[in-house]
Structures are given as structure tokens and as C-alpha cells.
Amino acid sequence: MRSRVRQEQSAQPLIYQSQIEALSAGCFKDPFSFLGPHKINDSRYEVRCFLPGATMVSVVMGSQQIAAQRQGESDLFVATIDCTSVPEYQLDVSYADKASHRHYDEYSFASTLDEQAMYLFNEGSLEHAYRHLGAHFTTQQGVEGVRFTVWAPNASSVSVIGEFNFWQRQRHFMRFHPASGVWELFIAGLKEDQCYKFAITTLMGEVLDKADPFAFKMQQAPGTASVLHASKATVKLDEHALKNRAKRNSIESPISIYEVHAGSWQRRDDSSRYLTWRELADNLIPYTKALGFTHLQLMPISEYPFDGSWGYQPVGLFAVTSRYGSFDDFVYFVQQCHEANLGIILDWVPGHFPSDPHGLHRFDGSHLYEHADIRQGFHPDWNTYIYNYDRAEVRSFLIANAMYWLHEFGIDGLRVDAVASMLYLDYSREEGQWVANQYGGRENLGAIECLKQVNLRCYANNPGIMMVAEESTAWPGVTRHVEHDGLGFGYKWNMGWMNDSLHYMQRDPLYRAHHHHEMTFSMVYAYSENYVLPLSHDEVVHGKGSLIEKMPGDDWQKFANLRAYYAFMWAHPGKKLLFMGAEFAQRREWNHDQSLDWHLLEHTSHRGVQETIKALNKVYCNTPALYEQDTSPAGFAWLDSNNSAQSIFSFIRYAKQADDFVVVVSNLTPQVYHDYVIGVPKAGRYQVILNTDKPEFFGSGVEVTSDPEQIILTQNMLNHGFTQSVVVSLPGLATVYLKKVSDES
């Protein structure tokens, strides 16, 4: 490059007055059209810099420095350089406190925005949008720095503000790309853990300071800023791990899920400090494995401002909450789950977002992420905002977020929160408070399509995962494939079973005979979906009491009822989910601000429930009849569903191998029944493999049979449609499992 540099003193009037006024006001939509190097003629360039607080500015080109001239009393500095092409330079800036700083001019860098990716983003199909939007450490034109990208199509100006520019919105104006509605800027020399936001000037002149929707790290409340994070290689699964994941999550595998709120499972320092991810890895994972659970489900861990939301009102969907440690600490926790062959599921919240000023609400001054019509965009139950699922970019945002957790961390699956609230336009609304769809119906067509696309793309790109819907209505085809007009989930929570069975168990045994159907009705629809039976956190909050306190009777009866109920649940078709604390019969309602009451395990009653769960999981995982045909009518048969007089339920669970089955009997009254006859499909020797009335479970010790090996021989008696029967004693408030161990009689 041929260049001749000379310094010019300008005594001209301010020729850039309008630009100076716009820059000073912090509102400049096209900064690259004015700032940075600009060709004046064939042999001269002008470098323009707007640097609030600067006293002197020089353009540094190798060993040469060219003083830039301040334009009047403004913060605009202009240097004229004789050269024939765009010069390579840095800026040497002095400030009033005599500090000086040399840096690259942000407006000397070309755009690196991927136009094809932005096309997909605007189309609603950019699966890895988090790789293109947000803040990313990168190298541009041989210089290391951070590329900031944000979608704000209706803003009149957007600036990057942060610790590195003293939060001045007049400093780092971003480049606007009208075709995609995306703003972009590369800033050199930034460091990890520096805080930043986007200062967005709306079309009405209002200035909104917004956190980055795609930030990988955010400040913990009360902080509201995004934090620069150098995204590293995260959890990569090898072929063996992928096979394990697929087997773990299969519909034909045993799935027993331990649901956990990471902030209140255990605490340290007299219950005032959260466990870190590394402490949870050392304590929670071994505990979960010791109890025999196959999966660990974490309540939402995306960054959220309000502890009382339990994570269900997230602001930073791509940021692991800093409550429990660093990003790397969470990666370590996930890796330890994989090492232990423990599936890990995350709660995911695509149904709504909170109104915090730094969040998504009115992001660029318009209703960008939420629906503009309050009848569709505001959730009356939670005072939150509902995503505009009809908007393609919002679909890209949500698809990419689901993909982020599954692809980058190797997570086993996502449990999608509040699906019913997404599906229905009239959800929790009175007449006149909702708007029908284009066909006059109440179905939210945009949300339906969004969920289908999330499931399609997540399964296609992450083989062996499980997508689970918390869906509380009779919506058809939640777990049906999308190509067969389903929503495409792998599993659905069976809220009907949960509600009916809990209603039944809460009744005094004296009155249960009149409500027998509440325990049997679930089998009418058991094969309509792939179900998970949930006893989740929702059943032990908001005045509902704990599970143990829902049970009727004196203390012994409460514990006996709960153990019998758990065993009935573990034998019922469907995968299992139990919220933390329920495994040892926590007496208090769950409180997110306190540790579980681990001291209760000093009592034999509570230890007995914990031992029951351990035994149930062991029997469940080792008995294919209890899980292999959960979704097939061939896997279940009632022996007697009509014995309401005695409140006894008896049925058979079958494995794929016809001779492999388990007989289950639940006696849900305190009455002990001796010489109780149960018809069985085959003659032979049957063994008691579970009895919830065992002394080690805090039971009364009534034995099903007097045989020390717990073996029962069949007899030639017609009962329950079979020619062979076993005669047993049924303990009160207990569930018993019998398994045929040989054909000998």
C-alpha cells in the first residue's frame, strides 16, 4: 500500500453537526456509514471516532501517529490520512484522568454475519441460533475479540454497553442488517466475565437496557447483566454413551425419575448456603443411585431472577444459573451423571417469561417475543408473558434453546413445563378474554407447530433422548409421531392417574369402597399415550401438604398407606417420577428456601419408607414384567378390579416373554385377610418378591406365607378365570408382588 500521512488542522465549522447530535443522544442507526475509515477521494481517507470522555486521540499506523482533531466541543474526533486503500490502524486515546488506552477501532471491522444462518433464523428453523446470536469470543481480521449480535428489528438504535465502556450507550453503536432485523458489532480486546447489556433506543425514543437473550452466563439476582463467557467444548458423548442413553430412555426400559430442586435438596452452613454443582455431584448422584433411581430430573436451571419462581420464570434461557457455581461446574455435574449411568433430565419452560425490565418483554420497544394482543400474550395466572409462537424468529429461539441443552451438554431429555397452557388459547381465561384461531377454534396453532418442530428437530439431531410433556388435559396424540398428526413427545405425565389415585388415598379406608373407580379408571386410557406417573413438586406445595400428611389415619396407618401406594404406583403401567423428600416421607410441605428434613431419617418410620423406595426400584429394574410392556395391552390384565367391598386391587403385569409375569395385590384397608385366594395363569412355585408390610419397612410384619423362603405353591382351584390359584395372607394397608420362579408344584 502506498501511503503518505499528513496532519491537517481544521478551522472549518462543524460539518457533522447532525451526526454529532445523534451520536451524543445515543441514537445512531447506521454507525458504519459515518464512523471508522471513509474514503474522501482516490488518495485520502478520513477516520472518524466518537469517544465520550476522550481528551486526545491519535490514529496509530505502525510507528506513525496521526493526531485526530476534535470537532468543536464534541466527542467526535477526525483524522485525515493520505492513502489509497483502507489503512490498518489502532486508536491511541487519552482521557481527562491522564489514563491512555490503545485499542482497535470497532468501525474498521467488516461484518461477519452469516446471511444464510440469518435466513434460517427469520424462517424459524435455525437449530443452532445460539452459535450466531449473542456474544461470542472470536478472531476477526486477525484480531481477538467478541462479536455481539442481537435481534431487535424495530429499534432505532442499539449499543453494546458494559464494564468495558462504563455503560455508555454513546460508545459502541451496532451495525443494523435490515434484511434480518439483526444488529452486530465486533469489539476487540474484551475479557471473560465482563458484564454487558444492549442499550436499545425504541422508535419512540425510549431507552431500554436489555440482557442478552442468548447469553451463556448472567449475573445472579439482584444483578441483571449478561456476562461474557468463552463457550468451550462441553459434554460430548461417544458411541458407547449414546447407546447407553438410547437404552436408558427407551419405552421398553425401566425409568424411575428422582425430581430435584437443586437449591433445597441439601444445604450447608446451617441451611443458608446452596450446594455447588460439584458438591451435588459428590452427594446427590451417589444418593440417587443408591436408591435405585435411573434418572435425575432437575427443576429449571436456566438463570432466573426470583427464587420463589423455582426457575419457572427464566430470563436467561441459555445461561446455567450461577446459584450453584460456574458453567464448568455444571458440565462436571453432567459428566458425573453420565459416568454413573444416571440419566439427567432438565425442566424446560417455553410457555412464558417474566416481566422483568431487563428481560424479553417489549425487547425493542415492540412486542417482539410476546404476542401483542394481551388476550394472547399475557398469562393471567402467573402475571407473565406468552411467547408469540406464530413468529418465525421466536420459534428459532425456542428450538435453538432446546437443542442447546441436549446437544451441547448431552442431556438425556427435557420435561416441557405447562404444555396445556401453550396448546389452548382459552387456557385459564373467561369468555371474552381470548381470541379464537383462524378457524374459530381454541387451539393455539402457532404453539402446536412450535412444539412439533422442537420435538422433530431434537429427536432427529439427538438420538436416544426423551422429550416429556407436562400436559394435564385430554389433548389427543401428545406422544404420537408428528407425521401421524401428533405433537411428537416421547412421554406424557399422567396427571389423571395422579389426581384420581391421590384423591382415593386421601380418603379414610372406611369410605374407599365408594370410590374404587378412582384407582381403576386410569386403565381405561392407559395405552392412549406413553405415560409417566408423576408424584411431583406440584403435589407438595401451596397448602397441599406433604404426601405422608395426605394419608389418613394414625401415624402407623399414614406410613402403611404411603408404602402401599408407592408399590401400587411402581406396578402400574407407566414410568415413575417421585419428588425429593417423598422417598423418606418428608412431613412438611416443600419449602424452596430450606433443606429437606434429613433428620427425619433418625426415625425407623421414615427410614422404612426410604428402604421401601430402594426395594421398589431394585425389583422394578430387575423385573421386565413391570416395565417392558408399559404401552401395550398385552402387558397388563386385571385379576379383580371390582373388589370394592374389601378395597383390594389385583392384577398381573406381563413381560414380552409370555411366561414372565408378576402378580400384584394391594389391600388398601387396615384389615388383614387370611386365606385369600388369587387365581394365577400358571401352576408352579411363586415367590413373594415384595411385601410393604415387612418390619424393615416399618410394617407390622404380617407374612404373606409362613414359608421361610417366601415360596407359595399353586393349588388346583378355579379363581379369577384361572384353574390354578395361590392362597395367601394379605397384610392390611399393604401391596404384595408375587413372581413365578419355577413350574414345580
Report, as residue numbers or ranges, the catalytic residues: 417, 470
Write out the three cell numbers for 106. 470497532
Backbone angles phi and psi of 536, in degrees to 5? -100, -175
Write the CB contacts of 202 (distance below 8 Å, at least 6 apart in sequence). Answer: 154, 155, 156, 208, 364, 365, 366
CA distances from 359 to 43, 148, 215, 368, 607 (A): 48, 17, 12, 12, 45
Distance, in Å, from the CA atom of 224 to the CA atom of 209, rounded to the nearest integer, reads 10
Cα-to-chain-centroid distance, residue 556: 38
Write the CB contacts of 321 (distance below 8 Å, at least 6 apart in sequence). Answer: 220, 301, 302, 303, 304, 311
Relative to beta strand 661-667, strand 384-385 is unpaired
Distance, in Å, from the CA atom of 187 to the CA atom of 570, rounded to the nearest integer, reads 56
Q: What's the CA angle centered on 458, arms 456 and 461, to 5 degrees?
A: 105
- What dihedral do alpha carbons 727, 731, 732, 736 form, nearest 10°? -80
Which of 319, 53, 359 is closest to 197 using CA atoms? 359
What letter would DSSP give residue 699?
A: -
Q: Are 161 and 167 in contact (CB under 8 A)?
A: yes
Distance, in Å, from the CA atom of 266 to the CA atom of 596, rounded to the nearest integer, reads 6
Segment (H or E) for 244? helix 239-248
Segment (H or E) for 330? helix 327-339
Q: How many residues does the chain have?
A: 745
What letter would DSSP give residue 105?
A: -
Write out the three cell numbers for 478. 401428545
CA-only gyration radius of the chain, Å: 32
